[in-house]
Amino acid sequence: MELLWKSHMNMKIHAIKLVYILLLVTLMSSKVAESRKSKMIRSSFEYNAINCRAHSVSIKDFGGVGDGKTLNTKAFESAINHLNQYGSEGGSQLYVPAGKWLTGSFSLISHFTLYLNKDAVLLASQDMNEWPVIKPLPSYGRGRDTAGGRYTSLIFGTNLTDVIVTGDNGTIDGQGSFWWQQFHMKKLKYTRPYLIELMFSDSIQISNLTLLNSPSWNIHPVYSSNIIVKGITIIAPVRSPNTDGINPDSCTNIKIEDCYIVSGDDCVAVKSGWDEYGIKFGWPTKQLVIRRLTCISPYSATIALGSEMSGGIQDVRAEDITAVHTESGIRIKTAVGRGGYVKDIYVQRMTMHTMKWAFWITGNYGSHADKNYDPNALPEIRNINYRDMKAENVSMAARLEGISNDPFTGICISNVTISMAAKAKKQPWTCNDIEGITSGVSPKPCGLLPDQGIKKIKACHFPSDYLPIDMLELQKCSYSL
């Protein structure tokens, strides 16, 4: 009896032990599964893009070293060379993991994505030998800094189709102070490089990146079409020379959205070539939409049109724009000798705080490529529409200067309230050689822009249709490493 009971007891203990062990095993295995799962999550990523890629490699597979010291120009070149074979096989992606990747200029290919991890920093080399020199742009006739050639941009591409530079807010650091010094000391032999330049290309996406301290302009699409620039942060010291944010130049069908820019020059500068070179090349910028841009640029404009506009600028739409401590809001810059046109410009819902000028139009910008410009080549400035804006702490409401015998026409400003700074200029508006109308604008505009009365508060047009670039739907791409 006692024995029986004992064995029963033993069995019970056994059973409890078994349950306990089983529990432990399940617990442990679920932990393993969990960690496997989190590992999977950590090494896969997703983003929206104009095209997804069938092949993906890491810069590490091509000898890249992200220690901030090793030069990776050759690694980028050989990775991209290798990936070139996949152009017609679903395209390719080059992944840049966390690390500091020192590199000189390198060139992209078609059907290609460069992706920067959130902790990846491309560090631009300060060794000038890492920057090959190329010919000036045909629509400029010379470099912007010097008469000769120009250093190739850090990330460069020409004659491409379907090219993406993106990331999980990874960084491109131009380490520009070296170049700014050379520029100020007039020691440059060639024009400074940009951070990203794509020439003669179609279907471009530049998104979700932070660009720091560019040697000069940051993003320069030129002679290109079908372009999305989205979710870009650009930071440079407000006194750094010519650190323009985004410069669409002789481009068609472009969307710039959700960008935050602090810089030493114009946040967005729309261009199309310079004087006789731009007139001859004749390639306009048209169909450009800019949305949700925030700009801080105490010595320049939020959105500039020109001064190089000799190929023409047409159909620019900007909305939901914020300017803080910026010299001017919308600025049109041109000169005798430019030729070309700036027409059909539409801006709505802009907020400005602490500005020298809310609006500025300059017909005597000067700054010529050389002395051979045609004094009879007058720019045509027409159909400029600004509406639904508020500005505070402004020194001068507007300075609008056309060209004598070449008035700038069809200027329309409606529903715009400008609060002047305590130390504002006595005369809030100065106008010459312009024609147009206003409605619901304060302070009271100049006589050349007669007030049409409050009934015309919706007088200034903004197109209600969409540009073709707005119709382009991005695809959801996912990759695992």
Ligand X SMILES: *[C@@H]1O[C@H](CO)[C@@H](O)[C@H](O)[C@H]1NC(C)=O
Active site residue ranges: 265
Range in contact with ligand X (rule: CB under 6 A) among 129-137, 281-289, 382-390, 405-413: 382-390
Range in contact with ligand X (rule: CB under 6 A) among 22-30, 94-102, 226-234, 443-451: 226-234
Cβ-count burial 142-168 (b if 16+ within 10 Å, e if not)? bbbbbeebbbbbbbbbbebbbbbbbbe
Read off the tokens for 313: 């600028």
50, 162 contact by CB (below 8 A): yes
| Residue 233 touching ligand X (CB under 6 A) | yes
| Residue 115 touching ligand X (CB under 6 A) | no
383, 354 contact by CB (below 8 A): no
Query: CB 440 → ligand X: shortest distance, Å?
Result: 7
Q: How far apart, in Å, are the Cα atoms of 13 and each of 1, 7, 26, 415, 472? A: 18, 10, 20, 85, 69
| Residue 113 touching ligand X (CB under 6 A) | no
How far apart CA 481 and CA 38 sit, in angstroms, is: 13
Query: CB 356 → ligand X: shortest distance, Å?
Result: 7
Read off the tokens for 126: 């300060």
Query: CB 296 → ligand X: shortest distance, Å?
Result: 12
Number of residues counted as binding ligand X (CB under 6 A): 23
| Residue 421 touching ligand X (CB under 6 A) | yes
Site for ligand X in 320-379 (CB under 6 A): 354
Range in contact with ligand X (rule: CB under 6 A) among 119-127, 202-210, 243-251, 372-380: 202-210
Amino acid at 396: M
String of DSSP letters for 189-227:
SSBPPPSEEEES-EEEEEEEEEEE--SS-SEEEES-EEE
Range in contact with ligand X (rule: CB under 6 A) among 18-26, 281-289, 365-373, 387-395: 387-395
288, 267 contact by CB (below 8 A): no
Query: CB 331 → ligand X: shortest distance, Å?
Result: 18
| Residue 47 touching ligand X (CB under 6 A) | yes
Query: CB 227 → ligand X: shortest distance, Å?
Result: 12
Instruction: Identify the three-state secondary structure at position 3.
Output: helix
Out of 230, 338, 382, 399, the residue judged to bind ligand X by CB under 6 A: 230
E-strand spans in 110-190?
112-116, 120-124, 133-134, 150-151, 155-158, 161-167, 170-173
Range in contact with ligand X (rule: CB under 6 A) among 57-65, 227-235, 335-343, 399-407: 227-235
| Residue 390 touching ligand X (CB under 6 A) | yes
Q: Which is nearer to ligand X, 187 or 423 (CB)?
A: 423
Q: Which is nearer to ligand X, 70 or 158 (CB)?
A: 158
Query: CB 12 → ligand X: shortest distance, Å?
Result: 57
Q: Per residue, what are the HEC states of 231-268?
A: EEEEECCCCCCCCCCECCECCEEEEEEEEEEECCCCCE
431, 398 contact by CB (below 8 A): yes
H-run or E-run covering 16: helix 2-42
CA 80, 230, 226, 198 torsion-angle sign:
negative
| Phi and psi angles of residue 469, each rounded to the nearest 5 degrees, phi first | -65, -25
Site string for ligand X, 167-186 (x = CB under 6 A): --x-----------------
Out of 99, 221, 231, 379, the residue judged to bind ligand X by CB under 6 A: 231
440, 380 contact by CB (below 8 A): no
Out of 73, 92, 152, 210, the residue judged to bind ligand X by CB under 6 A: 210
Query: CB 394 → ligand X: shortest distance, Å?
Result: 8
Out of 158, 322, 419, 430, the residue judged to bind ligand X by CB under 6 A: 158
Q: Which is nearer to ligand X, 133 or 421 (CB)?
A: 421
| Residues binding ligand X (CB under 6 A) | 47-48, 158-159, 166, 169, 200, 207-208, 210, 230-231, 233, 354, 388-390, 393, 395, 415, 421, 457-458
